[in-house]
Structure 1
């Protein structure tokens, strides 16, 4: 498992070969942007770094890319304030203020729309679970605690089910691929394989799709348990 993790970036770079390139443009108008330059740091499928000059909060990135990939808009190349987004073919418009960078408007990015759809629901479940975690600290009554544990289990299962249905609903989305990877310890190996098989062939052909395919045999809460048992022997 450690070998697979440490070689993931190399494999992604290797799989980048042979993809056709399409143009992308990211137009930004962010009032109060504090630095003379803005950086676009791409990760995942198609990594890379770009920088442009900023004029009164306005700046623009242009280039070509083989498909969608996660990225960060950053004030400095290293250690700066960052905003998550996704680079994909087409024109993306970002508008807002640096003071509220996390909530700037992002238009023209299907990946970002999918990300928000997933994030907004999952945050509701996370916030609700957080309440019950805090309630556990307020009592020593075993019956009450049991009720809190059951509620947490129920909310966790609802969250997992939502992710599962999201992936089924969005078989062509990068977000589905990333979410599937995050369910490694929540679903069984068979469930993960079934969800992966239902993804669009284009998604499976992306570098991160191929990396996930190579890791499928090790994924799932049952496989993780088996691996942990083997390492402890």
Structure 2
């Protein structure tokens, strides 16, 4: 009996989130002017107005359902008098009884009843101090257009970078522990997706943690997305055979990855709009000039959506090697970026003559030497 109660308590956060509908009740006790409340949810990458209602005597209510907890906000717009601009409150909406209580402004209201929102705020409270420190350093040492503030010594820059690395590591540790202690909650799975499965991760390292999530979460839409990402990421891990794929080169001819079997291939993922990709191109060019006669082919795969922008960047950066793209960007589910779970660029893979990935993310001024050491 005791064991059963313990199991029920473990599953409670997910059970609450799995109710069939939500009832969101709001109360702004000192709001006296006519006003209207809007419920806005984040769907398919964009904010969408879901519902609206007139606030009467400071009270309002929304009733509906969501497939899974999601980012949302309540906007309150006063219909008369001063302050006609809406003020907002962001929170996580889930299928439960949620209460929002405040005085005159919604942005200072308190949300209760949403497990996902409460857990998100708990996590944010732990990471925000480090995030603020990171932002402070970034403001002090950088400016627009990726420029660098003058007057900082090399030692000061190194100290700042060491501090940044330390803060990022501490945030990562907090997120890791949060996930490990929230294996039955949607927010635990959400944090796993957004933080543990960042732009760079090892599929073999994260899979054991994924399998610890409850079966209900694993079978959810978010759980399936996480699994898809892990499996796709494994397709570009060292020791794995590169998938065969077809792209179109810059002249409109088809390129098949398999056609380069028997050669070393340096796959370079980039885009015309990617600042750091363009900064890295001179290093790739240097490697090409030094190693093009050593059974090495360089293939740049652009994640542009505009052919004109892609062609102009190739011309401006004077890139003489093979340039290919599906012109689908990085968001399309059937594009190469999705097939290999590439969420950030620049990235690259070095593939041996047998088609096996032998190195990843080689870059910098030492790129020619790094490649030369791996090419036999």
- The two structures share one fold, judged by TM-score above 0.5: yes
Q: Which runs of 5+ in 2 are unaligned?
A: 1-17, 78-84, 142-148, 238-266, 271-299, 303-322, 324-376
Considering Cα pairs closer than 8 Å and 6+ residues apart, tell me whether 1 or 2 has the greater RCO. 1
Task: Give the structure with the higher percent helix.
Answer: 1
- State how far apart, in whole Å, the 2-side matches of 1:190 and 1:156 are: 22
Root-mean-square deviation (CA, aligned residues, Å) is 3.2
User: Which residue does 2:62 correspond to in 1?
Assistant: 61
Bigger CA radius of gyration:
2
Q: Which residue of 2 aligns with 1:94?
A: 100
Q: 1:82 to 1:188 in 2, by over 3 A?
A: farther
Change (3 A) 1:49 1:134: closer
Distance 1:192 1:75, change over 3 A: farther
SS in 1 for 2:183: coil
1:40 aligns with 2:39: yes
Structure 2: distance between partners of 1:125 and 1:103: 23
Query: Equivalent residue for 2:159?
Result: 147
Q: TM-score, normalised by structure 1?
A: 0.73
Corresponding residue for 2:301? 231
Specify whether residues 192 and 91 from structure 1 end up closer, same or farther in structure 2 by C-alpha distance, changes over 3 A only: same
2:177 aligned with 1:165: yes
Q: Structure 2 vs 1, CA of residues 228 and 84 (structure 1 numbering), >3 Å: closer, same or farther? A: same
Pair 1:132 & 2:137 matched? yes
Distance 1:148 1:44 in 2: 38
Q: CA deviation at 1:66?
A: 5.0
Of 109, 113, 120, which residue of structure 2 is paired with 1:108?
Answer: 113
User: What TM-score, normalized to structure 2?
Assistant: 0.47
Structure 1 residue 216 corresponds to structure 2 residue 218: no
Aligned pairs, number: 207
Residues of 2 paired with 1:121 and 1:44: CA distance? 27
| Residue matched to 1:52 | 53
Distance across 1 between alignment mates of 2:136 and 2:179: 27
